[in-house]
Structure 1
Amino acid sequence: MKIYQNVKLALKQLLSTKFRTFLTMLGIIIGVFSVILLISIGTAISKNVSTQLGDMGSNLVSVSFYPNNPTEKFTYKEATNLLEDGEIGSPEVMQTKAVRTNEHTDDMQVTGINDAYANIKNLELARGRFCSEVDVRYAQKVTVIGADVAKSYFKEQNPVGKYMRISGARYLVIGVLKEKGESLFGSADKKLFIPITSAERLFKTDSIDLYYIQAKSPNQVPSVVKQVDHKMSRLFPNDKDAYSVVNQQEALDTFDSITKTLTVGLGAIAGISLLVGGIGIMNIMLVSVSERTREIGIRKAIGARDSDILLQFLIEAVVLSLLGGGIGILLGIFSAQLVTILSDFEMIVSIPTILLAVGFSMFIGVVFGVVPAHKASKKMPIDALRAE
């Protein structure tokens, strides 16, 4: 009951000086708003990246080739020899080329792949078909285009069966991908995909930059990495820095660790705002204690104990902090929802984040309210009553 009465007194006191109360709460509002928004951004980035990497599966191994010697090559045939029974693999080699139809001309990213690429990258078709083994074997001039490419070059028409010129050569459109959106690895919506053997002719090189290998199961990934690394070391015995073999799950774990650290860092930066807000609360509470010295003296004269005065001012500081925290939480949630609505980036405001903000607000109120409350409780009644 005593706490309830003190809360009522605190609210009455704070409402009697609305403008000063708002200015005092402003630091807490900004701090909590920053905590909610920045942690939500960190969490959303982490989830987005984890989803994109996870879409390709935890049983994926990628081999990157970047030789120090420009005469060294890593060919598609050499890449296929890295595979063991039950494994599938696909190259990925990209160049920007001039692409045109009668209606539209632009520079686009053209990617050389094989028939396993769609499975490995989880690409889905909206129309037509994907590149087949026959297309790769006979270096057919066919292309599968992304959703944005289809809209830019063919508007509302069906692109399948129509021709596009890539660096002057005619390519038949055999498929259109479903819209997938942006990702860490670029957007498939803005690319054209052609058989790797056709890409070798178009790009005038038979060396590939990247090769994906999908193991039979996640449990076999370590042995696949070891096997691939051994074969690559035999291909390039004098230049082991020319390639890297990366386990997709390790990349996922590493990025997850980085984003968690980033989230903590962002939260800590926002916490500085809360600290500044806490100092503001302590400052205004000290002023309040000075202004209400006679009130303290009267309360003590009629029997109030030191603990009663301490509790009164401490609760006032906590209420002030919680009110600011509540407004900051509402602003943070509203801003996160606004970002989600206005962009493709989904902001995530989790319950733990809200609880953290509320807890931190209470902590700030208690910590920075103790000194003024203690000062108020130690005033002698006679001295307090003499104060002007």
Structure 2
Amino acid sequence: YRGRKPNRRVELHNGDVQAMKTEMDSVPALSRLVLKWGSTVRYRNEQGSYGVRGVDPDQREIGQVNLTAGRFVNKRDVDQNRKSAVIGGQILADLYPRGATPAQAIGSFIQVRGIQFVVVGVFNQAGSRWENRSVYVPFSTAQKLFTKSDVVSRVAIGTGDATLAETRTATSSLMGWLRNLLVVHPDDTQGVWVVNRNEQAEIYQQIFGGIRLFLWFVGMMTLLAGAMGVANIMAIVVRERTKEIGVRKALGATSGSIVAQIVQEAVFLMLISGCIGLVTGTWLLQGIVPFVEHDFFSNPRVDFRSALAALCVLTLVGVASAIGPALRAVSIRPVEALRDE
């Protein structure tokens, strides 16, 4: 395409990113990235394999990095190629003495890929163990020490308060601009790619929305099956107690008292079964939690408001399903009931 060889490697360089900043002067935040996975990080006699990310200061805003102590990479770190490091909470837990606080790690020295860095900050991203296994260092330092070139692995761009439609328009515009800059054919989907996180979030919301609707459907079908079961049980109860009901009516029992008895038995049955199900489900969930990957399921628990609401609905369904058998019970004539075998 335009004189370029096929299957060539397309790379982004510092100058390209600077041109991008000029082109997109209204971008709220932009950070270059150098990514080095599986890097050895050592503190004293402890070491482990972690991800190292060379970043610009805007990465804190883009990635919503939650600092628990110290500071993030700043402009002076980048301008002066400082060996500053911001470590994740999991690295603190793995390499530092047990009970060490984030504040105690500030000012300590670690080795990243055999090079000494000073820890200037500690962060902790709730529910993201892999994120907490990362080390942030100045982008310029990462290029100088790890890649020894001006190649940029990725560029992260913040969208601020832009709507999904606006980010889609910006993504399409940026894709076209990059293809023209890097001389990539417009139909080449592999040469340049831009990931719209807002669009991905929208897709995930739709997926989870569909799952939620499916679970509601399953719940409704379960309640319906329960109602049919209760109705059948109460019908059997009424049939087997026909003579008892006839005796009560002969002795002066009112229709209301007979209906109340049948309904009370149905409510008791539903409450007992509902409570057993709630306790069993909670117990099973607590047993599964230690084996759940928290990056995908953060703090799984029973929502007791939803559980109590389901129990109330279950009880109401039980009452409704008992009405039919109860009405059949009061329609029995005492003489016929006493003759029943």
Q: TM-score, normalised by structure 1?
A: 0.65
Give the counterpart of 2:10 among 66, 72, 81.
72
Amino acid of the residue matched to residue 85 of structure 1?
D
* 1:176 Cα offset (Å): 2.3
SS state of the match for residue 218, structure 1? coil
* CA distance, structure 1, for counterparts of residue 150 and residue 252 of structure 2: 93
Q: Which runs of 5+ in 1 are unaligned?
A: 1-67
Contact 2:107 2:119 (8 Å CA) reproduced: yes
Indicate the residue corresponding to 1:165 in structure 2: 111
In the TM superposition, what are the counterparts of 1:146-225 in structure 2 within 5 Å? 146-155=88-97, 156=100, 158-168=104-114, 170-183=115-128, 186-200=129-143, 201-203=145-147, 207-215=151-159, 217-218=161-162, 221=167, 223-225=169-171
RMSD value over aligned CA atoms?
A: 4.0
Q: Which segment drifts farther, 322-331 or 285-294? A: 322-331
* CA distance, structure 2, for counterparts of residue 113 and residue 283 of structure 1: 66
Amino acid of the residue matched to residue 177 of structure 2?
K
Give the counterpart of 2:25 among 85, 89, 94.
85
Amino acid of the residue matched to residue 174 of structure 2?
V
Answer yes or no: is 1:265 the counterpart of 2:210.
no
Indicate the residue corresponding to 1:133 in structure 2: 75
CA separation of 1:231 and 1:353: change in aligned 2, threshold 3 A: farther
* CA distance, structure 1, for counterparts of residue 290 and residue 40 of structure 2: 35
* 1:172 Cα offset (Å): 1.7
| Greater fraction of residues in helix | 1
Indicate the residue corresponding to 2:3 in structure 1: none
Amino acid of the residue matched to residue 218 of structure 1?
A
Q: Which segment drifts farther, 304-313 or 289-298? A: 304-313
Contact 2:68 2:123 (8 Å CA) reproduced: yes
Answer yes or no: is 1:106 the counterpart of 2:48.
yes
CA separation of 1:241 and 1:334: change in aligned 2, threshold 3 A: same
Contact 2:223 2:317 (8 Å CA) reproduced: no
Contact 2:30 2:158 (8 Å CA) reproduced: yes
Contact 1:297 1:385 (8 Å CA) reproduced: yes
Contact 1:140 1:195 (8 Å CA) reproduced: yes
Question: What's the % identity of the aligned pairs?
Answer: 23
Contact 2:89 2:133 (8 Å CA) reproduced: yes
* CA distance, structure 1, for counterparts of residue 150 and residue 56 of structure 2: 14
Give the counterpart of 1:255 among 204, 208, 217.
204
CA separation of 1:282 and 1:139: change in aligned 2, threshold 3 A: same
SS state of the match for residue 355, structure 1? helix
Q: TM-score, normalised by structure 2?
A: 0.73
Amino acid of the residue matched to residue 191 of structure 1?
S
Q: Which runs of 5+ in 2 are unaligned?
A: 1-5
* 1:160 Cα offset (Å): 3.9
* 1:385 Cα offset (Å): 0.5
Indicate the residue corresponding to 1:142 in structure 2: 84
SS state of the match for residue 240, structure 1? coil
